[in-house]
Each structure stands twice: as structure tokens, then as C-alpha cells.
Amino acid sequence: MEANNKKESRFQARGIIPAVITPLTSEGKFNEPAMRKLVNYLIDGGVHGLFVVGTTGEFYGLTPEEKREVFQVTMDETKGRVPVYAGTNGITTRETVMLTQLAEDCKVDAVSVLTPMFITPNQGQLFEHFKTVAANTSLPVVLYNNPPKTGVNLAASTVAKLAEVANIISIKDSSGDLTLTAEYIRLTRDRDDFNVLVGRDTLIYGALCYGAAGSIASCANVAPRLCADIYDKFIAGDLKGSLQAQFTLAPLRIAFTIGTFPAVIKESLTILGIEAGPCMDPVGPMTAEERESLRKVLIGMGLLK
């Protein structure tokens, strides 16, 4: 399926979009009832979209059919209230195209495509990879840069070229490098059909100041209203309130080092009484000491009494 040369879709990726966990049963199977409850918890918390089967959603451990189930359940429960973004991450272009078309079959609103991992393609190869994926779907495509996890970095000049591709509409930058995020914005700022989302939860306010359109945020699983406040208050002109929300959120993101990712997010939800289940092996549960440290963070944020 060839994408058009001219951007016709006015779909815009913006606001606070949780990188949603994949709730699991004690046997490690997808927990559909828990997912449906989580979808409503997040939407009720004021988020502006849902991003499933990403890094926080443990995409690397799900089969294509399990991913299809997560996409379908999320779409069914969301019922069009907010856009649903599907992670379609693969090492090869062939696999990525297959997963992207699978997501399109599930009628998601957009896909997010991570750079390949394990291999280290150069910038020309990355350009061709994303261009090919985009050409094989009619869906809006959000590029996803996460060099701390993949060892592969999308250069700002490459992103500027990819922004010219018809249905590539945004990039999520989880590099943690605000200079790079700002370069993505600077080099694409003249386009009204492309924007930048930040993926490091401690940098949402800073990125908004540079001109980012929002964030795909892991911490929004736990504190959707607080994360949404960073964006909503910023847009409303309440910069002091937005910054205060950012400062309140920061300890949770910094606490990611307490356990093996994404255990801190799932454990936080469990502490708050929201069913999340375990992480996929070999990521094990947090220790009692780690859990107590995390509990203190949640209490300090005002999320737990």
C-alpha cells in the first residue's frame, strides 16, 4: 500500500499519551479485564491518547497474535474517546511492515515505530527503513528514538528528511538529550504536519517550552492526572502550575532505577490498587526494601496516603 506524496491526514499527535503497560496474569498471559480497567483509569485521568505495545508495554515479549489481542481490546474499550497508538517495533523492515499492517487491520489510529535494535544501521539505512514502513500503511506513523535501549540514534537531519514523507507525522524522542529533542523541533518547526513528542518524563515541561507537542510518558500509567496537568496547564498559560506538576512527577521517573524496568511502573500501580501483574521473565518482582522505597516516593507525590 503506497502512501500519498502529499500529507492529507490532519491527525496530530499531541498531549499526554501514556506508554501503557501490558497487564499480565500470574501465569504471564495478557489480562484482558485488567487492561479494560486500566484504559478507563487513564482516560478518566485526563490523558490525550493511549500508546500500547511499546517499551513499557513489553513489546519484545509478545507474539504477533498477543499484540493483535492487546490492540483489539484497547480499541474496543477506548471506543474512540482518545486516539490509540500501536507499537509496531521490529528488528527488520519486513517484520516491522508486517506488524504495522497487523495494527492497521485492528483499526488503530496511528503506529509508533522504534528504530531497529541489536543491529546498528546507518542513517541512510534508517531513512529507507522508515520510508518503507510508511509506504506500506495508510496510518499516521510516529518515529520512535530510544538510543539508551536500542543503541541506535536517529540524527536530527534524518528526522528532518523523514518529516517530508507523507504519513510520517511525529517523533517520540526518549534519548533524554534535550539538545537533540530541540534540534528535532528546530529542523521541523516550519512544518504544520509534523511535531515532536518527548519520551523522557522529567523533560516534559522543558520540551513544551521548546515547542514540543506533548509526551508519550510511562509515568502517566501511575499518575495520569498529574502528567496531564503538565500539558493542560502549559497550554492554558499556567506555566507555574505546569512546572510544579513536572517537579511533583520527577521523583517517580527518577525512581525507575529502584527496580528493573518496567517493574517500577507495574509495582506502583499494584501499590495503588490497580491490577498490573508481573513483568515478563526474566524481570522479577521488586524486593521488600525496593517496594518500601517506592511506596515512600508515591506518598511524597501525594498519590498514596
Q: Could you name the CATH architecture of 15-238?
A: Alpha-Beta Barrel (3.20)
Angle (CA) 111 112 118, round 5°: 135
Q: Render pLDDT for 33-51 as a digit per residue (tens, 0 to 9).
A: 999 999 999 999 999 999 9
Q: How far is CA 26 from CA 57, 144, 150, 277, in A?
A: 16, 30, 29, 6
Q: Which three cell numbers stand for residue 48?
A: 490525550
When pLDDT is averaged across residues 184-189 and rounded to a whole number, the result is 98
CA-nearest of 204, 207, 200 to 182 is 207
Q: Which of 7, 131, 172, 233 is catalytic?
A: 172
Measure the CA–CA gap between 102 and 97, rounded to whole angstroms: 9
CA-nearest of 210, 250, 218, 251 to 234 is 210
When pLDDT is averaged across residues 300-305 and rounded to a whole number, the result is 93
Percent helix, percent strand, percent coil in the chain, to nearest 5? 50, 10, 40
pTM of the model: 0.95
Q: Which 8-state DSSP code applies to residue 192?
A: T
Task: Give the least confident one: 2-11, 31-40, 234-243.
Answer: 2-11
Q: pLDDT at residue 98 above 80?
A: yes
Is 144 labeled as catalytic in the residue annotation?
A: yes
Q: Render pLDDT for 80-92 as a digit per residue (tens, 0 to 9).
A: 999 999 999 999 9
What pLDDT was estimated at residue 124? 98
Q: Which of 85, 144, 205, 231 is catalytic?
A: 144
pLDDT > 90 fraction of the chain, expressed in percent and rounded: 95
Domain boundaries, the chain: 15-238
* Residue that is written with C-alpha cell 512544518 in the block: 191
What pLDDT was estimated at residue 9? 52
* Residue-averaged pLDDT of the chain: 96
Q: Render pLDDT for 251-278 as a digit per residue (tens, 0 to 9).
A: 999 999 898 999 999 999 999 999 999 9
Q: Which three cell numbers stand for residue 161?
A: 528528511
Contact yes or no for 142/110 (Cβ under 8 A): yes
Q: pLDDT at residue 4 above 50?
A: no
Q: pLDDT at residue 3 above 60?
A: no
Which residues share a beta bridge with 111? 86, 141
What pLDDT was estimated at residue 10? 74
